[in-house]
Amino acid sequence: MTDGASRHDSVRRSYDAVASDYEARFKDELTHKPLDRALLNAVIEQNEPGAPIADVGCGPGHVAAWLARNGVRAVGIDISPKMVEVGRLRHPEVEFREGDVVALPASDAEFGSIVALYSIIHLEPSELAAALGEMRRTLRPSGVLLVSFHVGSEVRHLDEWFGRAVDVDFRFFETDDVVRALETSGFALEARLERTNYPHEVDTRRGYLFARRLP
């Protein structure tokens, strides 16, 4: 596969294939991630009162559901129809939409905040600007964005996942490269941090960036 549309179709098909297995494996993961919960709470505290928070690349919606349980209106967006289907079944309190991170199904300035946990890891570096531009477009002025990713320069490919045939790349990003992309896309960086993996996670270093949409 060489073009973006083919890559994104492959990602969609791969996540469709593992949707139920993925939900079973990750549905309670935030229970064991204190730093992630703290960062999500920081998003909630700074969100415009009453404004919806989007979970971009939401998968089966466990993070969006956590946000909803903590008092906000959550909108989950994912490229995989099967992930959206599982999310709607498991988390009726969340609004789910099917859509690509480079063409979000949302109106301008619709969201008070956006959470994008590992949503950029299937993108080529050349696609970062489009994805972050869409996040900026759909955020309200001064809205906050939390983005996370695996730190590094490698690409890990899977042909099999949860015992099912897939065709998907997981791309790592250097933190400075994502910071530059954010700033070029109209965001002001407010915080950056990295952590090692928790014992139950894949052995990678995790990067988190907290940014705010410029007017």
Please tell me which residue, 189 or 3, carries the higher pLDDT value. Answer: 189
Residues 105, 54 contacting (CB under 8 angstroms): no
Beta strands in 172-213 (DSSP E): 187-195, 206-213
69 beta partners = none
Mean pLDDT, residues 72-99:
98
3 band by pLDDT with thresholds 50, 70 and 90: low
CA-based nearest residue to 72, from 91, 53, 93: 53
Burial degree of 133 (CB within 10 A; 0-12, 13-18, 19+): middle
| Whether the predicted pLDDT of 182 surpasses 50 | yes
pLDDT tens readout for residues 110-158: 999 999 999 999 999 999 999 999 999 999 999 999 999 999 999 999 9
Q: Return all residues near 153 (Cβ < 8 A) that are at least 6 apart.
A: 172, 174
pLDDT at position 6: 85
Q: What's the pTM?
A: 0.95
Find the mean pLDDT for residues 51-73.
98
Nearest to 192 by CA among 158, 146, 156, 155: 146
Place domain 4-213 in its CATH homologous superfamily: Vaccinia Virus protein VP39 (3.40.50.150)
Render the burial of 148-166: b for 16+ CB within 10 Å, e for the rest. bbbbeeeeeeeeebeeeeb
The pLDDT score that the predictor gives to residue 78 is: 98
Report how far apart, in Å, the C-alpha atoms of 64 and of each of 60, 80, 82, 141, 204 are: 9, 16, 16, 22, 24
The mean per-residue pLDDT over the stretch 161-188 comes to 98
On whether the CB atoms of residues 192 and 175 are closer than 8 A, the answer is yes
Whether 35 has a pLDDT exceeding 80, the answer reads yes
Segments making up each domain of the chain, as ranges: 4-213
Tens of pLDDT, residue by residue over 148-162, are 999 999 999 999 999
Q: Is it the case that residue 2 has pLDDT exceeding 80?
A: no
pLDDT surpassing 60 at residue 4: yes
Q: Which residues of 24-54 are buried (b: 16+ CB within 10 A; e: fewer)?
A: eeebeebeebeebeebbebbbeebeeebbbb
